[in-house]
Amino acid sequence: MTAIKLCGLTRKEDIEAANRLMPDFVGFVFWNKSRRALTKTEAAGLKELLDPKISAVGVFVDEDPAVIKELADEGIIDVIQLHGSEDAAYIKNIKTLTGKRVIRAVKIKEGLMPDLSETAGADHILLDAGMGDGRTFDWDIISRTGIDTGRLFLAGGLGPENVGEAIERIHPYAVDVSSGIETDGHKDPKKMEAFVHNARKAGGYRQEQNGGKK
């Protein structure tokens, strides 16, 4: 069973499409350098519209833990995804403050083995070639790292056309997509539907609820 995360949702229409498709997770980006960045107020409005069976993941880059705690305490996010230089101590602190699951993202650099030392304490590892920019990486590196794919979020260059192959080859815990379901910089409901359909066809269906509570 492979979970599905549709990341970088910014509009009411995106949430409406997600509610029809029922992925396990959607992602709200709180990094102000991203074109998909949301304010707290914007994210709260989208979360109110989101089906409660879908978990909202907050995506952060070296954020003040107090900011993350506030979003978690107010129920705006259910899971925390870290993309910066956050280390094991930061992860431990965030988990203590929020009680939420943590996904630690690791950027794959061409030709180099990823440094997994700062993922200690995270519930999941996310491997990506960038941050929502649609670049893929050599999936063969995953087997060389020894990563437990049962806790792996696979991202980077995924789209409707290759998500099935990714699931069949890697068997990750979840597949994560952002730019691969966009047209002209906005989420495309037809691409969202195709991605979810192809992922479920290849990897079965796992419906998470509220940060993993069944």
The domain locations on the chain are 3-203
Higher per-residue pLDDT: 211 or 39: 39
Higher per-residue pLDDT: 213 or 45: 45
Nearest to 131 by CA among 106, 97, 159: 106
**Of 7, 24, 78, 123, which residue is the catalytic one?**
7
**pTM recorded for the entire structure:** 0.91
Overall average pLDDT of the 34-51 stretch: 97
Active site residue 73: no
Architecture of the domain spanning 3-203? Alpha-Beta Barrel (3.20)
Helix-then-strand count for the chain, H and E: 7, 10
On the 0-12 / 13-18 / 19+ scale of CB atoms within 10 A, 107 is: middle
| Structural contact between residues 98 and 86, judged by C-beta atoms closer than 8 angstroms | no
**Of 14, 24, 128, 176, which residue is the catalytic one?**
128
Distance in angstroms (rounded) separating the CA atoms of residues 93 and 83: 16
Q: What is the pLDDT of residues 111-134, one digit of tens each?
A: 666 778 889 999 999 998 866 556
Q: What is the DSSP letter of 180?
A: G
- Per-residue pLDDT at 128: 87
Q: Average pLDDT, whole number, for the chain?
A: 91
- Residue bearing tokens 């950027």: 107
- Per-residue pLDDT at 137: 80
Confidence check: pLDDT of 212 > 50: no
Active site residue 176: no
Residues 6 or more apart whose Cβ sits within 8 Å of residue 140 = none
Long-range pairs of 112-120 with CB within 8 A, sequence gap ≥ 24: 113/141, 113/144, 113/145, 114/141, 114/145, 116/145, 116/147, 117/88, 118/85, 118/86, 118/87, 118/88, 118/91, 119/88, 119/91, 120/88, 120/91
- Per-residue pLDDT at 96: 98
Q: What is the pLDDT of residues 65-85, one digit of tens each?
A: 999 999 999 999 999 999 999
Q: What is the pLDDT of residues 132-190, one digit of tens each?
A: 556 678 888 888 888 889 999 999 899 999 999 999 999 999 999 999 999 999 999 99
- Per-residue pLDDT at 75: 98
